[in-house]
Amino acid sequence: MAQPLIELDELDRLANEAFPGLVVRKDLLRRMRSSFGVPAFVIEFLLGKYCASIEEAAINEGLEFVRETLASKYVKPDERESVKSAIKQHTTYEIIDKVSVKLVETHDKYWASLSNLNLDYINIDDRLVHEHDRLLMGGVWAEVALRYDDTFIFKGQNRPFFIDSIRPIQLSNRNIEGYVTARKRFTRDQWLDLLMRSMGYEPNHPYYTKRRKLHCVLRLVPFVEKNYNSVELGPRGTGKSFVYQQMSPYCHLVSGGQTTTPTMFVNLSTGQRGLVCLWDVVAFDEAAGIDFSDKSGINIMKGYMEDGAFSRGRDIITAEGSVVFVGNIDGEIATIVRTSHLFYPMPKEMDTAFYDRIHAYIPGWEFQKTHDDAYTNHFGLVTDYLAEVFRELRKSSYVDYAERHFKFGSHLGGRDQKAVRKIISGLIKLLHPDGEVTREELAEYVEYALEMRRRVKEQLKKMGGLEYWNTSFSYLDKENGQETFVRVPELGGGSLISEGTLAPGSIYTIGTDANDNRLALFLLQAQVNPGSGRIIPLGNLSSRMKEAIKTADAYLRANLKNLGITADIDSYDFNLQAINLNQAKEGAETAVAFFISLVSAILEKPVLERTVVLGEMSVQGLLLRVTFLPERMQLAVEAGAKRILIPSENKRDLAEVPDAILTAIQWQFYDSPNKAAMMGMGLV
């Protein structure tokens, strides 16, 4: 069947001229994949050989040959028995299938398996296993020559199938020089678009903004950068795992996250090296399900992600495999950012030290479910050619490029700088393989890399507190000294504490969620109406907050004269509400703030703008020390407060507060609830 003509654009023509025989129409790939369930690089291996042309007649002829090849050699699961029969009938037979090998110690022999043929215990020569060691770690797609010999008996059982030869589905040509030279014919944006088309996406579609294009390219960095660790969590169906499943024969996708320490690192009984030693990229799909049967696995991986080495037995083993985690994250990101952290779907065994080894966090929630019109019908580089080039690019490094023109800000620690350098190096390899990048382009990559690493650090701060306080990432231009701070979009441009003076009766405080000691910002509001002296809590207040309101009310009634209140409060009702700005479940240690809210409402005096009050008290006004003072002050600063009132019982705790926080906010101590109220309203 003739393929419909497409209208070639400038990028199509340029790609065909620069890479003759190494580009293919990506719509042909999609059509083939719908008929043959093999990875993209398998189909493109054949398309690249027989359909790399802009002539429709040549494409149609080549396409028919590819279709016939796949039809005759690719084993469909429902045809496996007829294929076995054909092998027996013809004595020798060629198929395309995924080959894997295991060593059966009790047999002292290697046995091969064919995935789609569903055939085990196939004889294979040791020489083939040694030539293709990835056969032992998940297997490889290949053209396989099979032979049938019904005279072969092993340990009393007939094992008639033999593998005579294996031709892995991968190009042998790694002409990096030709690739680099051809890249010079494209502008940076043209090249970015060609990479997008090579992944199967149409860059001219309105959905693919410049930022989304960079996110797509960032998914490729593990292929070109050694020992690079990244995570991407987002909605289902956005293509998170596609590149790790379809784009390269040098990537191993661990589905469901299930693995073992010997499989991942080294088998001590056989000495067989694990996934990170044999594959350029090891990607965990459905990262939430990662589970090591040996619980030491997480700690070993933590060490490996730090420096590319791990200790098993007596040996220190080094490897270069990059580690990628992809998975789903549910719910509105704005809500998750307020109430939790962006690593929450990951396994509970992973701690802050583990996540600190992550170099980049790709914001998967910025992608939508991919629709058909976002896929390209134009030419892109043959996937397998790209995979070979990417493998060669791993040998180079551009980690020093950023600091030729820029200097990292003071908040970047050693791991932060290492992460940013690796991201920038990877982007340069992908977009400027010759290393020729302009100052403006480099600034763009520096800013982007800082954001990807800062996203990791922000979650660490939420999980680990003050240890990870320094998240104000920036870079300085060495020429003019200008410092640029980098934001993380999901954190928002504004703050929880709004500018301007609030209405009387309104005040901010930080309470404690008694369930998990998590801190949360609350806006308390009191409204005075004619009535009979009732206190009316509004909304779904926790029992701890209701107790705090009773304490505040009792102390207020006993201290009316001291506060200069002459009104008969029994002739009013007080509506009290607590707006939970962080969606915590509880709000303990808030009695002083409720007291100030009532006083402010009665006196009709507003609290000074952007003021946060900390404090708990007894019914007689005895002040109690609040817990987690450094963390409370940190939260106040992050929320946008410029002033904080602290019980005098916490004076000793001030020494634990980092200087960066102390200088970021005005702080004052108070020694009684009455004093706190007057200070809050600026009356003393």
Tens-place pLDDT, residues 264-307: 898 877 778 889 999 999 999 988 778 776 778 888 999 999 99
Give the whole-number percent of the chain exceeding pLDDT 90.
60
Half-sphere exposure of residue 244: CA atoms within 13 angstroms, side-chain side: 28
Residue 376 carries which DSSP code? -
**Which are the contacts of 267, defined by CB distance < 8 A and separation ≥ 6?**
274
Across 435-556, where does the E strand assignment appear? Answer: 474-477, 483-485, 506-513, 518-530, 535-537
How far apart, in whole angstroms, are the C-alpha atoms of residue 535 and residue 546?
10
Mean pLDDT, residues 225-234 taken together: 97
619 and 569 housed in the same domain: yes
Would 279 be classed as within a structural domain?
Answer: yes
- At which of 115, 133, 168 does a domain end? 168
551 and 673 housed in the same domain: yes
At residue 185, the pLDDT reads 97
Would 198 be classed as within a structural domain?
Answer: yes
Number of domains in the chain: 4
Half-sphere exposure of residue 247: CA atoms within 13 angstroms, side-chain side: 31
How far apart, in whole angstroms, are the C-alpha atoms of residue 495 and residue 138?
49
Domain hosting 414: range is 397-491
**CA separation (Å) from 408 to 149, 349, 357, 658, 683?**
66, 32, 19, 21, 44
373 and 432 housed in the same domain: no
Would 58 be classed as within a structural domain?
Answer: no
429 and 548 housed in the same domain: no
Helices 591-603 and 673-680 cross at an angle (nearest 10°) of 50
Which of 283, 282, 281, 263 is CA-nearest to residue 273?
A: 263
Residue 157 carries which DSSP code? E
Would 669 be classed as within a structural domain?
Answer: yes
Binning pLDDT at 50, 70 and 90, where does residue 221 land? very high
Give the whole-number percent of the chain exceeding pLDDT 70.
96
588 and 514 housed in the same domain: yes
SS3 at position 513: strand
516 and 569 housed in the same domain: yes
Cβ atoms 457, 466 nearer than 8 A: no
513 and 445 housed in the same domain: no
Would 9 be classed as within a structural domain?
Answer: no
Would 72 be classed as within a structural domain?
Answer: no
At residue 335, the pLDDT reads 82
Q: Which parts of 349-438 fold into alpha helices (H)?
A: 352-355, 383-393, 402-405, 414-431
Residue 328 is part of a domain; what is its CATH number? Answer: 3.40.50.300
Would 408 be classed as within a structural domain?
Answer: yes
**pLDDT above 70: residue 5:** no
Q: How far is CA 362 from the centre of its chain?
A: 4
pLDDT digits (tens, 9 = 90+) for 607-666: 999 999 999 999 999 999 999 899 899 889 888 899 999 999 999 999 999 887 898 899
Which of 124, 131, 133 is CA-nearest to residue 163?
A: 124
437 and 545 housed in the same domain: no
630 and 512 housed in the same domain: yes
- At which of 434, 456, 491 does a domain end? 491
At residue 171, the pLDDT reads 58
pLDDT digits (tens, 9 = 90+) for 155-181: 999 999 999 999 887 655 556 899 999
216 and 132 housed in the same domain: no
Residue 20 carries which DSSP code? T
138 and 263 housed in the same domain: no
Would 127 be classed as within a structural domain?
Answer: yes
Residue 601 is part of a domain; what is its CATH number? Answer: 3.30.230.10
- At which of 381, 415, 438 does a domain end? 381
123 and 230 housed in the same domain: no
Which of 286, 287, 289, 262 is CA-nearest to residue 276?
A: 262
**Which are the contacts of 178, defined by CB distance < 8 A and separation ≥ 6?**
none
In this structure, the number of other CB atoms found within 10 A of the CB of residue 206 comes to: 7
